[in-house]
Structure 1
Amino acid sequence: MTGDLLAGLAPPPPTREEIGPGAVRLRGWALPRAVELLAAVEAIAAAAPFRHMVTPGGFEMSVAMTNCGAAGWVTDRAGYRYAPDDPLTGRPWPPLPVAFGDLAQAAAGAAGYRDFQPDACLINRYEPRARLTLHQDRDERDKGHPIVSLSLGLPAIFQFGGLKRADPVRRVTLLHGDVVVWGGAARLFHHGVLPLKDGTHPLLGKRRVNLTLRRAW
């Protein structure tokens, strides 16, 4: 990556903002390592390609997905679950990069969650109009661990609701390098992403990449 391009992405100082009980947005937290993280995503996708998974109801998801770590989140007509192997290749998911784990640990600590040890990372790739409907992350065995969600590329509107799907939803704009961490009282709050607006990002073009790190097993 050229120095001129990186200079044009000079980050503001990271800031911390509570967006709910037990939920924190860390503005610009990942910017210093963004290029390294994206290179790792490319290597992961070379071994476990992005794909549009199908929900148990038979709908193809608009977001393309892949995984890394000891377990990968998958969905098909059989249901939602974590699996040790990539159903597309039949091989174990690529290992979790050290940079992913280090950043997730540091971000969780900054949000008040100590000793977080992620073992799984779901990688979502958004293109214009792709979205993620409101849902809960409830397929993990132990809900005592937080969720760490990292945004790269185009900005997105993150929806953060409550325990009930009908609860009021807060809309939070997430920019390149932002990290959201939630756990504790907010661990099972509904969340999602509104349809991605068209645009162009210097590093990712017309795409947004989201890394969601969890303790799955």
Structure 2
Amino acid sequence: MLDLFADEQPWQEPLAPGAVILRRFARAGGPALMQAIDQVAGVSPFRQMVTPGGYTMSVAMTNCGGLGWTTNQRGYLYSPLDPLTAAPWPPMPEAFAALCHDAACAAGYPEFQPDACLINRYAVGAKLSLHQDKDEADLRAPIVSVSLGLPAVFQFGGLRRNDPLKRLLLEHGDVVVWGGPSRLFYHGIQPLKPGTHPLTGDYRYNLTFRQAANNE
């Protein structure tokens, strides 16, 4: 299929105070990022985590970096070990770290140093309900979120679950960065619609970079 936007340069789209969408920012690096995802999943496979309430998440997940986001019967936590393999999570690939650094700088967060990257894989129908990213020790650090593959509708609200939502289509290569006043805004992904992407097939992948530990 001919991509009419293949030569279009990345651009910034303001989202909220402290938040921005970097459109097509990661598009050129897509093949290298997907290769890195495959390498991480070869060590720590994708799995559908179970919430403390017993709900099996529709999104398949894995992690890389010094810490990984996971769940158990007591709640949500960051752990240096993959509970599936009992080994450390794979190190963060250089392609991940370089992209995250460039995106954070472009969004105005040049000092961001992530120690965790949650990798989500969405099949058709998978979704992520509205939630806040609040399990990190230092909430002053931003979130950098990279979309790869099939498009999805991103919901971005406010500090309360019932605040009005913005609904924005995220396409392959789009990066969302939020921090500062919008760091704890509720957000989610609506159910993924059927489609095929030349790089990711029937899936959408999302990389979410976080500073999970307090570096002070």
Normalised-by-shorter TM-score class: over 0.9
| Structure 2 CA distance for partners of 1:9 and 1:206, relative to 1, 3 Å | farther
Please give the secondary structure, in 1, of the residue aligned with 2:29: helix
Matches of 1:11 and 1:199 in 2, distance apart?
A: 23
Partners of 1:58 and 1:76 within 8 A in 2? no
Aligned pairs (5 A) from 1:178-197: 178-197=174-193
Structure 2: give runs of 5+ residues left out of the alignment.
none
> Match of 1:162?
158
Please give the secondary structure, in 2, of the residue aligned with 1:26: strand
> Match of 2:92?
96
| Structure 2 CA distance for partners of 1:190 and 1:7, relative to 1, 3 Å | closer
> Match of 2:72?
76
Which of 138, 146, 152 aligns to 2:148? It is 152
Matches of 2:91 and 2:148 in 1, distance apart?
A: 20
Read off the aligned partner of 1:179 and give its amino acid letter: V
Q: Please state how far the C-alpha of 1:6 moved relative to its aligned partner.
A: 10
Matches of 2:7 and 2:168 in 1, distance apart?
A: 19
What is the count of residue pairs matched by the alignment?
Answer: 213
Aligned pairs (5 A) from 1:1-217: 10-217=6-213
Partners of 1:72 and 1:121 within 8 A in 2? yes
Partners of 1:29 and 1:178 within 8 A in 2? yes
Partners of 1:54 and 1:60 within 8 A in 2? yes
Runs of 4+ in 1 over 2 A off after TM superposition: 5-11
Matches of 1:193 and 1:133 in 2, distance apart?
A: 7
Q: Please state how far the C-alpha of 1:211 moved relative to its aligned partner.
A: 0.2
Please give the secondary structure, in 2, of the residue aligned with 1:151: strand
Q: Please state how far the C-alpha of 1:70 moved relative to its aligned partner.
A: 0.3
TM-score, normalising length from structure 2? 0.96
Read off the aligned partner of 2:124 and give its amino acid letter: P
Read off the aligned partner of 2:147 and give its amino acid letter: S
| Structure 2 CA distance for partners of 1:86 and 1:111, relative to 1, 3 Å | same
Q: Please state how far the C-alpha of 1:139 moved relative to its aligned partner.
A: 0.5
Structure 1 or 2: larger helix share? 1
Matches of 1:46 and 1:76 in 2, distance apart?
A: 23
Structure 1: give runs of 5+ residues left out of the alignment.
none
Q: CA RMSD in A?
A: 1.4
Q: Please state how far the C-alpha of 1:7 moved relative to its aligned partner.
A: 8.1
